[in-house]
Amino acid sequence: MATRRPSESESTERNAPSVEAAFQAAPEEMVAQILDGELHLSPRPARPHTNVATNLGILIGGPFKFGRGGPGGWVLLDEPELHLGRRPDKLVPDLAGWRRERLPDALGGDEAPAHYDLAPDWVCEVLSERTRHMDKGLKMRIYAREGVRHLWLVDPLAHTLDIFRLKGNHWLLVETFAGEQQVRAEPFEAIELELALLWSR
């Protein structure tokens, strides 16, 4: 696979110092992200969003992080801070996963930064009215640029799960699941995911 070469603007532009300062000074009750050089502040997620994100982490964590009822081999994290690209963009996906061989020391040492600068193999964004435009716009473009291979978009109110695969530099919608189906969704198709459990309270 060819290595992506950064564009001229990507290799020279940096976030403005005022944007970086505002990012560092963001209140703890807000989610701060820098996307394409602009600061975005969002309130902490509402209860349906938090519930679905938690359920999904539980459902895939056992089989894929711990190898219980599944193949293991993944590092899975809730809301990791990602620093991607040379600017860098600073994103917080709802969940992210790396194949363990790409991130063998997920915790790092005592001096390890809080953020990760290695693009995940999989990200999941749980949609809400306040962040939908960002999740389906800028963040998807950044994930594609950085070579994230798999993306899930979950709508906790509509009860839908959209599965995307990166093809070249663009996202291909592989499948849309809804309701209470039992599904196999890449890259976690080794197990059957019960959507009824995903929406459960």
CA distance 149 to 112: 25
**High-pLDDT (> 90) share of the chain, %:** 74
Length of the chain: 201
Give residue 9's pLDDT: 41
| Topology of the domain comprising 46-199 | tt1808, chain A (3.90.1570)
Domain segments of the chain: what residues? 46-199
- The helix/strand/coil state of 82 is strand
The residues near 15 (Cβ < 8 Å, ≥ 6 apart) are 23, 34, 37, 87, 88
Give residue 183's pLDDT: 96
pLDDT at residue 11 above 80?
A: no
The model's pLDDT over 58-113, given as tens digits with 9 standing for 90+, comes to 999 999 999 999 999 999 999 999 999 999 999 999 999 999 999 988 888 778 88
pTM over 0.75: yes
